Structures are given as C-alpha cells and as structure tokens.
Amino acid sequence: MACPVQFICRGLRTVALVLLYYVFSIGITFYNKWLMQGFRYPLFMTLVHLTINFCLSALTRRAMQCWTGKPRIILGWTDYLRKVAPTALATALDIGLSNWSFLFITISLYTMTKSSAVLFILLFSLVFKLEEPNPFLILVVLLISSGLFMFTFESTQFNPKGFTMVLLASFIGGIRWTLTQLLMQKAELGLQNPIDTMYHLQPLMFLGLFPLFLYNEGLSLSTSEKLFRVTELSPLLYSLATLSIGGLLAFGLGFSEFLLVSRTSSLTLSISGIFKEVCTLLLAAALMGDKMNMLNWLGFAVCLCGISLHVGLKTYYSKNKGPSLRQLNSKSPELELPLLRQNKDDRDDSAVEYNDEDEEQEITLH
C-alpha cells in the first residue's frame, strides 16, 4: 500500500502547489488591474513592489543563512554593474510597461498579447545560442503570431496604445529572460538560486525605472491627494496598504513558482501556465466584463497550440539530447522569477525533498 499512498500524496501535493501558483499569478493580474482603476500611477506602484520584493528577498536570504549556516553570495561592484545591470534594466522596463498598460487595455488583451513573449524569447535565445535551431520553431512562430492577429482583429475593446505597450514589454521580456538565463548560468557569479538573483536585481531595477517615473508621474503624484497632499491619515494608509498587498502578491508569485518547479518539474510549471491563461480569460469575461467574439477565442486557441507545441518540443529534445541543451520556457507572466530545474538524473523519489543541492541543478526559465 505504500506505493499507491505515496502516489496519491504526491498528486495532492502537486495539485496544491499548482493552485497556490494560480492564486498568486491570477490574483496579481486582477489586483493590479483593479488598483489601476482608482490609483493611476503604475510606475510608482511598480517601484513600491520592487522595494517590498527586495526587503522580503533579503529576509529570506537571512532565514536561509540561519537555517543552513552557509553565507549567501554578495557580488562585487564590478560584476554587479557590468553583468547584472543589463538584466535589471530589461526586467524593470518589462514590468513597468506591463503594469502601465493596465491603464488602457483589458485583462484578456493583456494576457493574450503577453503570451507572444515566447516569440521574442525564441528570437533572442537563438541569437545568444541558448536554443538550437529547429524547423518546428517556424510552426510555433506562425501559430502564435497568427493567433495573436486573430485575437486582436475586430476586437471591440482594442486599444492601440495599451497594445503597443504590452507588445514592447514582450519584446523587452525576450531580452530580459535571455539575459537572466545567461546571468544565472554563470557559475562563477553564484546566482543559481532565484532568491539571490532577485535580491541583486531589485536595487538596479528601482534605479533604472526611477527616471521614467519622475518624467511621467513625478509631478502629478507630488500634487495628488492620494499620497503627498493628503489631508487625513486614513487615505494615505489605505493607499500604502493597497500598494503593499500587490508587492506581497508579486513575491508570493515568484516563491510559489519556485516551490512548484523544485517539488515537481519545469514541465509541470509550463503546462500549468497554459491552463492558467485559459482561467484568466474566463475570469476576465465573467468578472471584468471583457468582450470576446468567436474569432478572438479561436485566435486564443491557436496561440495556445503554438505554446503547447513549444513546450512539447522542449521536453522532447531535452530528453533526447540531455541536459546540455539549454532552453527557455515559453512564458513569462508579470514579475515571475527565474527558476531552478531538476536534472533528469535527480528525478526520483529522493528528489522530492528540497534541499540546498537544488542550487547546483540545471537552470531553466519560465
């Protein structure tokens, strides 16, 4: 009876981890959209989230150090500015533009357009030779791009400004995740653990996004009664509380992804991400009143087929060519962290328990 019981427990644990990932991932999307309806300062909101993520990652590093007794990595200034800064700048622009777009577009259009990030990830992974050329990739590109066209064609809630922002964010996201993979795969830097990577990225991300915030929102926010010109304390506390909740959701999203992939596999995370998009669109139609016609739904289905094909190809070639083939996963939702992937040789019952040896495993990005 040990084997069936163990199998059931493992299945229930996987379901629980997937549901936890859904709560944070879908939750932060709807929460940010809801917050933007009354607090129209997306770049300031992003800066608050970055500050909270830095504090929480610092506390997590401290807890890990106390638990393991091993000191955490701290990069020198030369490596920090030369090797981390480009990744931080791309990440800041990706997240900032994504949050900014919520002022103009619906959740359904945001979700669908953001899914096109796989095209740019494939492009830059080929440029940096992280992905091996494959004729099937042409089919993946055609399916995703045609699905995106069908989804936006004759859409009644299409906004060109917001769409351009998300598409630009997806393009920068391709650079972001490619640079992140290069950063984490440099063993000499010691940033294999996503918490360490997050800790080093947040300060430079803050500095990179701050000038754009000053130019676009600085004067308006300084005269707003929501923060700096409040006449009562309660509205200020309410604004800070709502912004802080988003930061906690962002950190919880990255941590839930890390738990899911470390306790299962990166394939589980990829498949979960595909079904998450379906849940997001259904909830957007039911809760937010997003309108989609049959052609839009068909375009979404075609795009999901392209993403599913990419996940399947990645899994197939990983099994046949071994862990030396470094590839990128297909999705990159808002503020998601680079994740550790379990090696094929470690995928047995003993690999279920997480420990510090996970830092030496092969890296993949989601």
Contact call for residues 120 and 173 (beta carbons, < 8 A): yes
Would you say residue 7 lies in a domain?
no
Interatomic CA distance for residues 213 and 217, integer angstroms: 5
Residue 327 lies in a domain: no
Cα–Cα distance measured from residue 199 to residue 257, given in angstroms and rounded to the nearest whole number: 17
The backbone torsions φ and ψ at residue 50, rounded to the nearest 5 degrees and listed phi first, read -65, -40
* 355 within a domain of the structure (yes/no): no
Q: Which residues pair with 365 in a beta bridge?
A: 328
Contact 257, 336 (CB under 8 A): yes
pTM: 0.77
How many distinct structural domains can be found in the chain?
Answer: 1
Q: Give tens-digit pLDDT for 197-211.
A: 889 999 999 999 999
Q: What residue numbers bound the domain in which 199 lies?
A: 14-320
How many C-beta atoms lie closer than 10 Å to residue 282's C-beta? 12
pLDDT of residue 26: 93
Task: Please identify every stretch of the chain with a pLDDT value under 50, giving residue numbers as ranges.
Answer: 1, 322-366
Residue 104 in any domain: the answer is yes
| DSSP structure class, residue 361 | S
Alpha-carbon span 125 to 326, nearest angstrom: 9
pLDDT at position 94 = 92
Cβ distance 170 to 120 under 8 Å?
yes
Q: What is the rounded end-to-end Cα distance, in angstroms, of the chain?
A: 36
Pairing of strands 363-364, 339-340: antiparallel
pLDDT of residue 321: 58
**pLDDT at site 267:** 64
Nearest Cα neighbor of 117 from 156, 75, 160, 170 is 170
The pLDDT of residue 363: 36
